[in-house]
Each structure stands twice: as structure tokens, then as C-alpha cells.
A and B are shown apart, each in its own frame.
Chain A
Amino acid sequence: MAERALSDILEEAFVRCRDLDAPLADRLKAFANEVQRAAPNLMASVDALVSRLKESDAGATAPKVGEPMPIFLLSDEQGRLVRLDDLLREGPVAIAFHRGQWCPYCRINIDALARAQEEVAAEHRRIVAIVPDRQKFAAWLKSDAKAAFPVLTDIDNGYAMSLGLAICVGDEMKHMMAKSGSDPSLSQGVDNWMLPIPATFIVGTDGVVQARFIDPDYRVRMAVEDMIAALRSAS
């Protein structure tokens, strides 16, 4: 029963933080603070995981600014195939990796992207989100945030892994996540507890990375203002 309560507490906290009228960073921080209060043990495990990842320079091999972004071919939440090079023909693209439909930080992040989508679209720029979740869950994530941009499925984190952005969740963290009601195996359809680092790449029409944000601390995401500015200056 106590375990159920924690996931309920976190869901309520999520709704409060999602609905804040504040920059993304503040909303994420507000949620992290609520988790800290409700589940200090969980937060301690997250801190340990993040510091291990940071120490090891996780994500360092991912495409850098000035390097070409490898093309992806992934299906969207309705089963339509989307290729990065097709998108780039219409303008610069922001590619935002997310961990999944079960992750409150990702839901807040997608919500923030959705709030900015009209401004982005008005300038002939595009956003795509990538999750390891299957279509049903990708569709849920999209409608949850009223997003107009596609939410693409990266089965087995294959594309993320090819970029050096896939991590394995250790046993301790697995246990903690299950306790807080987060189980990526259901939405991914595979039980390997692999997740992407939620990185963001801004890619110009020439296929070259113009800006990127990679932080193995999944509680911290690229500021939406920075993403818009990078999209605006990309050509």
C-alpha cells in the first residue's frame, strides 16, 4: 500500500509542477524538490547514478556541434515512418530524446516543448521527440502534453545506442524506480532496463549539429529558450 501511495504522491506533484507558469528548469527543479521530500532514498540513488554517469563522461561520443547528425528512420505514434533527412528538407529540426511515458520529468519537458510548438512552427522549424516506448505509449505522451510534433519510437534504444546515448539501469535503481511506479519495460515491450540520456540536438538543413545539450542528469533538460534560439539561428 505504501508503494502505491508514493506513486500517487509523485503523480500529484507532477501535475502541480507541470502546470506551473515558469521556465522549464524551474518546473523540473520544483518536481525534483517534491521527490526529495517524498522519497529521499530515491533521490539519493538518482544522485549516485548521475554522479557515476558524469564521472564517466557518459554521452561524450554523441555527435558534437559541427559534426553530422546520423539519419534516423523511426515510426511515429501513428505508425508513419519518419526520416530525419526528409524533415531537414523543410527546415532545421530539434531532436529531443526522452526516457519514456512513465517519466514525470519527460512529461514536464514534452509539455514545455508543446507550449513552444506554435512559435517554432511559425518560423518553419520543427521539433521531434524520440522515446524507446512503443506507439501506444508514445501516443499517450503526445496527447498528454497536447503536442503537435511527432513522438517517435526508438525500439531497443537502437538509434540512441548508435549515438552512444544508451545507458543501463542498475539493479538498485531498478528497484527504486519500480517502487515509485516507473517501469519502462511495459512501455518498451522489452525487459532490458535500458534508457536513453535525454539529450537535445539542433540540426541544420545541411544535417550538421548546430547546438546540443547532453546532461546525464535526467532532471536537467535543455532550456526551451535556448532550443528556440538555436533553431532560429540554424539554417
Chain B
Amino acid sequence: MVGRDLTAEASECLTLFAPQTEQALVDPKRAAERTMEMHQIRYFLAVSETLNLTRAAERCNVAQPSLTRAIKALELELGGELLRRERALSHLTELGQRVLPMLRQSYETALSAKMVATSIKKGETAPLSLALSQTVALELFAPMLRELSRLFPGLQLKVYRGSSSEVAEYLKLGTAELAIAGALDDTWSRVDAFPLFEEPLDLVVGRTHRLATKSLAEFKDLASETVLVNGGCEMDAAIKARLSANGIFATGAHQVATREDLLALLKANLGVAIIPVGALEAMSYCRIPLRDLDLVRKVSVYAVAGRQRAMACATLLNMLRAADWDFETAERRRSTQ
């Protein structure tokens, strides 16, 4: 599913909201409404993109006085002016700039809420494309995907893998609707990041490795070890920096490009590695905290703002954002069940 721009589909959105919008406009009392109405936000978003009231009104297919009235109502709700009106151009005030991202995000979530209201037809396919960073374990999201496929029996997953820049590219091009990764170096202004969880990094060795019995390791324990490095991991540079700062140089290291290969080498005792430990199978590996290692990976889900989201994508995004990612609580819960 290739994303489409909301802006390019203003008329489609309008059809979706027309009845409510028209009713709201004829009733003068409604102009002073203090709940956040979707049409008000839609008009404000149109102004923020066109910076011109006439063009914004045209795009939203309403008369300009109606648009102005709706934005005034929004200003009342938010307690300040959102626009500084000049002859041809309107500019966003400081308040307008500040509230724009949150209004856009809420509007898009509300738009998704309206969309999921349509019933799922029997046999209807629900394509969903995800781009995951090389080292983010898909297992972490399996419960959500399973639940999603219960609701969307026609779910058709496409999972892409890549480095942080490749993941960003998949997202930009619309190849993937959502990306899940650590920090993306590429900061494109239209990408919204929703932080999910922080994954600690630990030393990981095979079960029969000589360090496997340790409860705490030190950097000096690694001096005689072959370190495995994964060039595809967002944390690669940070890991190498910590190693060399502690006198360990990864020059003689084994290099891999995927998490799977790294785990295979660990299992075979061909080296040790410092990796984000989420969803590591405790059966096959030993996870040992490394003294003075304070690295965590902040994993976020990324979506492109202003791009229409398909039902499965919108639902998964909300599930990911709502989920309880507290690994320890989750583990405790599992063990007490």
C-alpha cells in the first residue's frame, strides 16, 4: 500500500465529514464551540500548508468566512491567536507553530478512528508493510500482529529489513507504512516518531562460553575475546566507541550484517557481542551486564505525517503506542501466570 497525501485528497476527506461540517456552519452557536472539532483542525492544517485563507478555504471546499469562524473557535479553545493575518499571506503565530504538530497528530488519529468504523468485508485483503531495523526483533511485535490478524483475516504482511537509513528511505518512498527502529539519523520533517521502549544493551555470549557463568562482566574481560560487530545495528558506532574508550579495539572483530547471523555466531561460541537484548531467547544465550556500560536503544515507531493510513496500519500504530512495553513488568506477569 503506497501512502497518499491527505492534502491531495481534501475532497475525499470532505465527503467523509460533510454532514457534520455543514450543520456546524449554519448554527452560529456552534462557532463558539470549545471542544476540538475535526473540521476546525482540518481548516487550520490547510491554512498552515497554504498560508493563504482563500486558498485554504478552496482546498477545504468551504466559504472563507466559515473557515475563518472555525479557526476563531479553535483560537478560543486554545486560548490565543493561531494566525497573524497579513494581506495575501497568513503566518502562524508562535502558538500556532507550537500547537501545529499536536493538532495534526490528533486529527490524523481521529481520522483513523473514523476510518476503522467501516466494517471489514469478508475476504477483504488488508495489506500492511513494515520496515524494521536490522536488529529490532520481530518477536517483540508478534502478539500485536497476531491480534491484528484476528481482526483483519485478510492481513497481508510485508516486512522489510534495513539499516537505519534504508528504513527511513522505505518510509519516505511509501514502500513501508510504518518503520520500527532506534534513532533514525535521517530527520525528515514529515516523519513522526512515537517512542515505544528503551532496550538495554548487555554483553551476550553463548551458553558454554567461559564468561557465561559470570553475573557481571568488565570491559577488561573482553581483552582476549573476539568481538562480533553488526554493521547493520543503529547502535554500532556507539558500541565501538564504548569499546575503544575502554581499551578494546574491534579491529580483529567478526563482522556481520544481520542480527540472525550475529546470534548464530554467538551460539557457536565464535565471539562475544554487545547488543540490544530485547526478545533474546534465554535458552540459547547468556546475557551478562557489563560494568560501566550505560547504552540503551530507544526504539520508536515512525510514520509519515499527512499520509493516509490504511486500516490495518492505523490500528497497529495505535496498538504499538498503547502497549505496555515495560519488559520487566511483562516478564513478571508471564512468570506469575
Q: Taking each of A136, A154, A164, A165, which has the highest tally of chain B beta carbons within 10 Å of its own beta carbon?
A: A164
Most A CB within 10 A of own CB, among B112, B117, B151: B117
B93 is an interface residue with CB less than 8 A from chain A = no
- Supposing A73-B151, A85-B119 touch, asked if A57 and B319 sit within 8 A by C-beta, the answer is no
B38: chain A residues within 8 A (beta carbon): 161-162, 164
Q: Digitize A54-68: 1 where CB-to-B-CB distance is under 8 Å, 0 elsewhere.
A: 011111110000000
| Chain A positions 165 through 207: 1 when the CB is less than 8 Å from some CB of chain B, otherwise 0 | 1111011000000000000000001111010010000000000
Chain A CB within 8 A of B336 CB: no
Q: How many chain-A residues does the 8 Å CB contact rule pick out?
A: 46
Q: Check B37 for interface membership: any CB of A closer than 8 A.
A: yes
**Residues in A neighbouring B326, C-beta threshold 8 A:** 136
Q: CB of A134 within 8 A of chain B?
A: yes
- Cα distance, A170 to B322, chains bound together (Å): 25
B148 part of interface (Cβ distance < 8 Å): yes
Contact B322 A79 (CB under 8 A): yes
**Residue pair A167, B143 in contact (C-beta under 8 Å):** no
Within the complex, which residue of B107, B113, B147 is in contact with A159, where a contact is CB–CB below 8 Å? B113
**B318 cross-chain contacts in A, Cβ below 8 A:** 74-75, 153, 155, 158
Other-chain contact of B319, A56, A81, A194 (Cβ < 8 Å): A81
Report how far A170 CA is from B118 CA in the complex, Å: 34
Chain B residues within 8 Å of A197, by CB: 35
Q: Does A146 contact B (CB under 8 A)?
A: no
A71 interfacial by beta-carbon distance below 8 Å: yes
Inter-chain contact A192/B35, CB cutoff 8 Å: no
Contacting pair B113 A158 (CB below 8 A): yes
Interface string of B84-127 (1 = CB under 8 A from A): 00000000000000000010011101111110111100000000
| A101 to B: closest C-beta gap in Å | 13
Contact A192 B102 (CB under 8 A): yes
Asked if A164 and B35 sit within 8 Å, CB to CB, the answer is: yes
Contact with B along A73-86 (1 / 0, CB 8 A): 11100011101010
Cα distance, A189 to B300, chains bound together (Å): 13
Q: Is the CB of B114 within 8 A of A70?
A: yes
Pick the contact of B148 from A81, A162, A165 — CB < 8 Å? A81
| Complex interface bits, B204-226 against A, C-beta within 8 A gives 1, otherwise 0 | 00000000000000000000000
Residues of B within 8 A of A153 (CB): 318, 322
Specify which chain A residues have a CB less than 8 angstroms from the CB of B194 in the assembled complex.
189
**Given the complex, which residues of A lie within 8 Å of B148, measured CB to CB?**
81
Q: Which of A52, A81, A136, A156 contacts B324 (CB 8 A)?
A: A136
Chain A residues near B110 (CB-CB < 8 A): 156-159, 161-162, 166
Asked if B33 contacts A57 (CB within 8 A), the reply is: yes
Expressed in whole angstroms, the Cα–Cα distance for A70 and B119 within the complex equals: 11
Q: How far is the CA of A191 from the CA of B106 in the complex (A)?
A: 11
Q: Is A53's beta carbon under 8 Å from chain B? A: yes
Residue of A with least CB distance to B311: A73
**Chain B residues near A70 (CB, 8 Å)?**
113-114, 117
> Inside 8 A of A210's CB, which chain B residues have their CB?
none
Specify the chain B residue showing the minimal Cβ separation from A164: B35
Known A58-B35, A71-B119: A81·B102 in contact at CB below 8 Å: no
Q: Is B30 an interface position by the 8 A CB rule? A: yes
| Inter-subunit contact B144/A79 (CB<8 Å) | yes
Which of chain B's residues have a CB closer than 8 A to the CB of A136? 324, 326, 329
Contact A134 B77 (CB under 8 A): no
| Chain A CB within 10 A, most for which of B76, B144, B322 | B322
Question: What are 29 A-B contacts with C-beta separation under 8 Å?
Answer: A56-B32, A56-B33, A56-B34, A57-B30, A58-B33, A60-B30, A60-B33, A61-B20, A70-B114, A75-B147, A75-B322, A79-B324, A80-B147, A81-B148, A134-B322, A135-B324, A136-B326, A139-B324, A153-B322, A155-B322, A156-B106, A156-B109, A158-B113, A158-B318, A162-B111, A166-B106, A167-B77, A168-B78, A190-B105
Chain A interfacial positions (CB closer than 8 Å to B): 52-53, 55-61, 70-75, 79-81, 83, 85, 134-136, 139, 153-159, 161-162, 164-168, 170-171, 189-192, 194, 197
Known: A71-B117, A83-B151, A155-B109. 18 other contacts (CB 8 A): A58-B34, A61-B30, A72-B117, A75-B318, A75-B323, A79-B319, A79-B322, A81-B150, A135-B324, A139-B324, A157-B109, A158-B112, A161-B107, A167-B77, A168-B77, A189-B321, A194-B36, A194-B106
What are the nearest 7 A-B pairs in CB distance?
A: A158-B109, A156-B109, A161-B110, A158-B113, A192-B102, A153-B322, A56-B34
